Amino acid sequence: MPELPEVETLCRQLQTRIAGKKILSTKVCDHKLDGIGNVRGLRVLGVCRRGKTVEMRLEGGQCIIIHLRMSGRLFWRTGRCRESHTRWRITLEGGGIDLVDPRRFATVRVISDPPEALTNDLMGSFDFRKFLQSQAGRRVPVKTLLMDPKAIAGIGNIYACEILHASGISPLRPAAALDETEWKKIFRQARRILRRAIAGRGTSISDWRDLDGCPGENQKALKVYGREGEACVRCGGIIVRIRQSGRSTYCCPRCQKE
């Protein structure tokens, strides 16, 4: 599932290709997406990320909001060919974009006003005091909290594992047991890891591809995710995989404090 760095990668690539370009046509190829508002003839002002969604801001105030969910991908297209599983396509001056999505969970909406900016995005605006007051005291495990979009925008399973390993904190610890210094450490590591992942155009463990269909490179930088049985780079302990809320968590029981 695309997380913050993957969506940020797409938005940056889209911004350079389609900002200032006029929309020539759109086509829905999957009836599940019927009813998307008409944006033909409008110009794209810019593309930005909001949490895990892609926002294309259009002249006149309208906004196309794309949520990729599990398997949605956006691919740049200059010719006519259409990949299988294409659900929606938009054609602009100079090229087009296909939403390819075998599992069909992605959504596309047109709204009349851009939504308000988030205040819980670690790579954008983040209100640390508000986080401490409204989220940090919850009894859920710290990893669950990191992955809750109401608490922090855009972090999924891979980056949550990496952030907690780099911070030396067990994914099982209750969020409420962490002090302010530990949260600061987590967010410092989170920003470093997310920045690096954006620079590497995301993590291609399975099927993530960027706008040009190229895999990202950040999988080479992962220290704990997918490394069950290997030696921990921080302490030499053995990395284990545990089940947590139905997902695989990778961690080092030796250097990640419970």
Q: State the residues that interact with Zn ion by CB under 5 A.
A: 232, 234-235, 237, 252, 254-255
Q: Which is nearer to Zn ion, 195 or 234 (CB)?
A: 234
List the catalytic residue out of 17, 49, 50, 52.
Answer: 52
Q: Catalytic annotation on 171? A: no
For the bound state, the minimum distance from the C-beta of residue 168 to Zn ion, rounded and expressed in Å, comes to: 8
Q: Taking phi first (over 0 means left), then psi (-120 to 50 degrees means alpha), and beta for anything else, what does residue 54 get?
A: beta
Q: Which is nearer to Zn ion, 75 or 250 (CB)?
A: 250
List the catalytic residue out of 57, 241, 247, 254.
Answer: 247
CA-closest candidate to residue 141, choices 164, 172, 106, 185: 172
Q: Which is nearer to Zn ion, 170 or 219 (CB)?
A: 170
Q: Catalytic annotation on 143? A: no
For the bound state, the minimum distance from the C-beta of residue 238 to Zn ion, rounded and expressed in Å, comes to: 9
Cα–Cα distance for residue pair 211/13, rounded to 1 Å = 7
Q: Which residues fall within 8 angstroms of residue 1, CB to CB, at 6 or more apart?
A: 68, 69, 70, 71, 156, 157
User: Is the C-alpha dihedral spanning 197, 198, 200, 201 positive or negative?
Assistant: positive
Q: Which is nearer to Zn ion, 146 or 252 (CB)?
A: 252
Q: Catalytic annotation on 162? A: no
Using alpha carbons, list the distances in angstroms from residue 10 to 4, 16, 225.
10, 10, 23
For the bound state, the minimum distance from the C-beta of residue 222 to Zn ion, rounded and expressed in Å, comes to: 14
Name the residues annotated as catalytic.
2-3, 52, 247
